[in-house]
Amino acid sequence: MPTPSAVPLPPASGAWREGDPPGRRQWHIREKPLALEAGGELPRVQVAFETWGKRAPDGSNAVLVLHALTGDSHVSGSAGPGHPTPGWWNGLVGPGLALDTDRWFVIAPNVLGGCQGSTGPASPRPDGRPWGGTFPRLTQRDQVAVEADLAEALGIDRWALVIGGSMGGMRALEWAVSYPERTDALLLLATTAAASAEQIAWAGVQSHAVRDDPRWHGGDYHDAAPGLGPHAGLGLARRIAHMTYRSEPELQARFGRSPQGSEDPWDGGRYQVESYLDHHAAKLVHRFDAGSYVALSEAMNTHDIGRGRGGASAALRRVTARTLVAGVSSDRLYPPSQQAELAAGITGADHLRVIESPYGHDGFLIEVEQVAGLVSELLGS
């Protein structure tokens, strides 16, 4: 085991940078300016994405997979150069799996505002310096507009399926409402028609944790030396988030009041559950960007499918895709009641499902077999 002093310091930002190994990434460049819903524009947009399988000549076998807050384009595959973690939905995409790459052409972009190859706060602006604190405010509609640009570049007129959970589910829903003619089937997991007051509050607290870090420097920290980024704030945000991602019964069953190893909580030591949160915080600061965390959290808070469309009910009536909506039984961040409301607003037959899981919100990532069953139900595979 290395001593604490031997553990490498995290870079100021865990963002992918030019010159880093590309891994499986490909890129699409939008050279024309992107007008943003909240005002202003991005003069040039880069989108990193990964693909699996082979595109049919007419593009009819294309599936769009959309990641959650700290995800990226690496849905499936091993960790390695360019990819600090294994695929976040390993077991769903590949030959013979629910998203069978012998049949389907699967595409996963890194979201606009993210930090793993797509334009975000760590990316260079026109003068060559990182966008940092000058990065503009984004919404899901901006992000989906860029994904639509990518689809056009790849010759995809219509998705056989759009699938996403949590933040990815927000964008999947936005696809089905903004581009109903381009969305054939839709799978929404652990998401909602609009961010609730509590969801906004949780995300706001996390953003404050990052911004209050003395090394935040107004978002302009990307050129700092290793160890000098806003890691304390980002780590605290991750700890807060992770508590909302898991369920109380699971945490109690796994950790209870047990101390971490030989540490004594009565003498400055930690409980196991504190060590668990510390572990997830340390992992994130090595692979993610604090500016992206804030930008994406604030974009999630803008989510309201009914904004400017006459309300959520009117917006949901635009959906023409074959749709399944699934909640996680133990989710306390995006409770199943929100998925029930979402499903009730989308015209069609019974399309509400429940993923049975003790793991809370993270169940949509963990219960791959149940998600695979929903994919197969929609695609007839």
Report the catalytic residues.
166, 331, 361
**3-class secondary-structure state, position 189:** strand
Q: 200 CB contacts (<8 Å, ≥6 apart)?
A: 301
CB 170 within 8 A of CB 140: yes
Region of 80 (left: φ > 0; alpha: ψ -120 to 50; beta: rest) is left
Residues 109, 111, 115, 117, CA torsion sign: positive
CA distance 347 to 91: 31
Ordered alpha helix ranges (H), the chain: 140-153, 167-178, 197-211, 231-245, 248-255, 272-287, 290-301, 312-316, 336-345, 363-366, 368-379
Give the orientation angle of helix 167-178 with respect to helix 290-301, to 10 degrees: 50
CA distance 238 to 105: 33
Tokens of 229: 């980024």
CB 99 within 8 A of CB 106: yes
CB-facing half-sphere around the CA of 256: CA atoms within 13 A: 4
CA distance 346 to 180: 12
Which residue type, as a one-letter code, is found at position 371?
A: V
CA distance 368 to 65: 14
